[in-house]
Amino acid sequence: MKKEYDFSRGKRGAIDPIPPGKTRITIRIDDDVLNWFRRQVHARGGGNYQTMMNDALREFILQHKESLEEIVRRVVKEEIKKTG
């Protein structure tokens, strides 16, 4: 171990830069949900629970995406039920 270190060219901030298309956020997740994702990663032999959570959210979004036509049809059907 050196007696002194030179930090004159050191930079503050994250060690790993955030890649384009990603945003660093702070979010509160229930302990049981977070632990479930961590267990899944561990059971698969490693990886990143945050990536797994991102993939799960993306899959949810894709499964629940409705086109404008689908939304209009659903709303019209609901209104017809109310009046009929």
Which tens digit of pLDDT belongs to each residue from 11-47? 887 677 888 999 989 999 999 999 999 999 999 999 9
Query: Residue 24 falls within a domain, yes or no?
Result: no
Q: CA–CA separation, 74 vs 66, rounded Å?
A: 10
Domain span at residue 51? 31-83
What's this model's pTM, rounded to 2 decimal places? Answer: 0.60
> Domain total for the chain?
1
Query: Residue 56 falls within a domain, yes or no?
Result: yes
Q: Using CB atoms within 10 A of its CB, is residue 49 exposed (0-12), middle (13-18) or buried (19+)?
A: middle
Query: Residue 6 falls within a domain, yes or no?
Result: no
Query: Residue 70 falls within a domain, yes or no?
Result: yes
Query: Residue 21 falls within a domain, yes or no?
Result: no
Query: Residue 14 falls within a domain, yes or no?
Result: no
